[in-house]
Structure 1
Amino acid sequence: MLTLASKLKRDDAVKSGHSNSATADSTRRVSIRDRLLVKGSAQKVAELETNLPNEGYYQSGKFQFEIDVPEAYNMVPPKVKCLTRIWHPNITETGEICLSLLREHSIDGTGWAPTRTLKDVVWGLNSLFTDLLNFDDPLNIEAAEHHLRDKDDFRCKVQDFIKQYAR
């Protein structure tokens, strides 16, 4: 966050020092995105940390995600990938994620909208481990079928993955 704040100061200095309107427009676009990302970030992170659930199959795991925020944010959603190997019906072992709010165009109307924020993304990812865990429309079909076949064995495999990859 400190790096981003420094970048905003540099961008403001560049804007005031350039007369080229194309450069100024480009800097302003990046600056708006960056301002949206910085606005209230520390408070939001603290709030999320205190409200993360500690229940369900994945309660003891620590999962890392990579969030790539495109220049056109918040008009388009960020790209998110799970960096922690996981046994999950909505996340592949290579990190692809099935979460409707990350879709630019969603059939069910719950896709990305300019009013959404990174906080919504983090809440959505968190919900994939509790109430949005979806075995009926999986991305990882093998994990979903495993759960349908044997819930206890599924839980054991999840815990094995957590012990090996998510501590």
Structure 2
Amino acid sequence: MLTLASKLKRDDGVKGPRTSNPTSDSTRRVSVRDKLLVKEVAELEANLPCTCELKFPDPNKLHYFLLTVNPDEGYYQNGTFQFEIEVPDAYNMVPPKVKCLTRIWHPNITETGEICLSLLREHSIDGTGWAPTRTLKDVVWGLNSLFTDLLNFDDPLNIEAAEHHLRDKEDFRTKVDDYIKRYAR
């Protein structure tokens, strides 16, 4: 990560005054994202939940990383769940794109990895969606909380999982445990 921070400082010194041609505008937009990410990743690493771990496949690309969540309580305890997080060029005006890579039986995560977490919505009628004041720390803490206090059976994305829980909590727990054994170890 220091390499990207050094590169950004070096690039700022080389660019000099801003020009108004279209190429430099798109480069500048990406550069703004990257500058935000250097700061946000440092803050995130200093305040990471103990149940989470970050991995940057390419340390020079802070806009793409993997998050591993190992819940230490609740239905998903003892599972290891991996999320792919990609930060778009228009960040922080738009939220990161997040996908769960681990197959899971969860009311707010589909088996194909789609996630229902209000802060990941670009437009939200309840006012809890993405806002430019949110950061990667909010995203990571939100994903971590999907396994505990944000686990929501009343507003599910995976309706079948939510109905399963409503119908038979013990059988739901058994299916969650089976998924953990098969996919989340």
TM-score, length-scaled by structure 2: 0.80
Q: 1:56 and 1:90 mapped to 2: Cα distance?
A: 15
The runs of 5 or more residues in structure 2 that have no matched partner are 53-70
The runs of 5 or more residues in structure 1 that have no matched partner are none
2:63 corresponding residue in structure 1: none
2:26 corresponding residue in structure 1: 26
Runs (4+) off by over 3 Å: 1-7, 9-14, 16-21
Q: 1:3 and 1:19 mapped to 2: Cα distance?
A: 26
Asked whether the equivalents of residues 15 and 24 of structure 1 are also in contact (C-alpha less than 8 Å), the reply is no
Aligned residues: 167
Q: 2:6 and 2:17 mapped to 1: Cα distance?
A: 17
Task: State the one-letter code of the partner of 1:156.
Answer: T
2:106 corresponding residue in structure 1: 88
Q: 1:18 and 1:70 mapped to 2: Cα distance?
A: 23
1:37 corresponding residue in structure 2: 37
Task: State the one-letter code of the partner of 2:35.
Answer: R
Asked whether the equivalents of residues 43 and 137 of structure 2 are also in contact (C-alpha less than 8 Å), the reply is no
Task: State the one-letter code of the partner of 1:147.
Answer: H
Query: Which deviates the most, 12-21 or 45-54?
Result: 12-21
1:145 corresponding residue in structure 2: 163
Determine which of 120, 135, 140 is the counterpart of 1:117.
Answer: 135
Provide the aligned C-alpha RMSD in A.
Answer: 2.3
The answer to whether 1:71 aligns with 2:89 is: yes
Q: 1:134 and 1:82 mapped to 2: Cα distance?
A: 17
Task: State the one-letter code of the partner of 2:30.
Answer: V
Task: State the one-letter code of the partner of 2:121.
Answer: R
Specify which structure has the bigger relative contact order, considering alpha-carbon pairs within 8 angstroms and separated by 6 or more residues: 1
Asked whether the equivalents of residues 11 and 27 of structure 1 are also in contact (C-alpha less than 8 Å), the reply is no
Matches within 5 A, 1:7-18: 8=8, 11-12=11-12, 15-16=15-16
TM-score, length-scaled by structure 1: 0.88
1:102 corresponding residue in structure 2: 120
Q: Percent identity?
A: 81
Higher strand share: 2
SS of equivalent residue, structure 2 residue 47: helix
Asked whether the equivalents of residues 90 and 133 of structure 1 are also in contact (C-alpha less than 8 Å), the reply is yes
Higher helix share: 1
Q: Deviations over 1:111-147 (max 9, x none)?
A: 0000000110011111111111111111101100111
Determine which of 145, 152, 161 is the counterpart of 1:134.
Answer: 152
2:79 corresponding residue in structure 1: 61
Q: 1:35 to 1:97 in 2, by over 3 A?
A: same
Task: State the one-letter code of the partner of 1:115.
Answer: T
Q: 1:166 to 1:22 in 2, by over 3 A?
A: same
